[in-house]
Structure 1
Amino acid sequence: MAGVNNQPNLRPLIDEQTEIQKLDLTWLKSVAAANRTKLDQTLADVAEASENVNAKHVATQQAVASAKAETAQAITDKQALTDAAVTAAKDALLADLLAKNTALMTELSDIKAKSDFDVKSIGKIQTESMAINHADLNGVIFSRSGKGAIVAIQGSHRNTVKVFADGVLVLDFNGVTSSDYNRDFMTGGGFEYIKYHKTIEVQATPEAASSYQFFLTDKKVY
């Protein structure tokens, strides 16, 4: 029984072990608290980083949208400038073509007006003849625009007669004051004629003392 009555004193060991366990628990709590602090800081950092990311994302989207709008406007502006330039070029080209066409038509009209013709071949085309008393003559007695031929002019030798074909003086006769007699300024058989392509003008001075009439025959070409 001696072994039973003399049991070792375990209390100190138990107390020591309990103290060790308290120390361990305190350390663990300290570690846990520190970890919790780190976790909270990490979560705060993550939240801040997330907020920054969101802000940057929003700013990026706004920048992209602004860039798209500016690009679209720039494209619109450039398209407008291009359209204006194309329209101006077309207008300039059209004006140039119209000017050239007008010049060409004028040239063709002038060529057509000046194209030659056979006086004898217009014998059946409208012929205008006139007889005027010498006292009734007064400067320009006949003029027209077009194409034709004066085939007969007859009057008194007292008359002063001028004929302008296409603006050029082609017949110039100064009247004389001697005795009056009939004069053929041009023969009437078509052997002599004054051809014109654009205009004709016949001038004759009045002569009351003449007993003759003034005759003129014009053949028109159409």
Structure 2
Amino acid sequence: MSRPIIFAHRGASAHQFENTMKAFEKAVELGADGIEFDVQLTEDGVPIVIHDADLIRLAGIHRMISSLTSTEVSAIRVGKKYTRMVNGHRIPTLIEAVTFCERHHMALNIELKETVSERPETIKRIIEIVTYSENLHFSSFDYRLLEKVKEVDSRLETAYLVRKNSVDWNYLEQYICADGFHIHKRLLKEPYLSKLIQSGKKIRVYGMIGQEAITLDPPPYIDGWITDYPNRF
């Protein structure tokens, strides 16, 4: 029986600043099987790797990613509040992140974020960038984006990020454009768990820190863990 795939959440983000090349390098070093990262769009439509649509938390700048060109974004440094001016990190492009993962044979879990929801026509371009990768899937809290991915290429794997009140738990089979469900570990309980298992779709769990009892002997219905601490698995 195969074990769950370990995805480093935004890279090994407990060890290096999230969604940076350093975090991705650390994920490889710590033995992760794959990397989960987030994709937003610049004003000129370039896919970049960053979680927030607003730069205030990550860069201390009151600007939206969608209001900046890719050239402007390339000059911005993200990092911890009091050190980013000296030790800040560049914001990677999607091409950079995918190329890195391909070179290191890392599985890809690409989460499509708000600015992609605002411009779903860019899905085709994003897919063109990543489809040479062998082991990848797209995830999103926006189910419409998964529909768009399947519209462009029905062979691509998708996963729906679900919250407690975001889906109809009695009819999970209606989400035909989702090949899997990504859930927070808080939903690893009834009545949710049995319904997820009955759906027959892949189940990956985020929010894991590697100290949960379930990780010691993972049940067969778990396809993957998404964690800031890949070394603990």
Shorter-chain TM-score category?
Answer: under 0.3
TM-score normalised to structure 2 length: 0.18
Structure with greater Cα Rg: 1
TM-score normalised to structure 1 length: 0.19
Whichever structure has more helix as a proportion of its residues is 1
Whichever structure has more strand as a proportion of its residues is 1
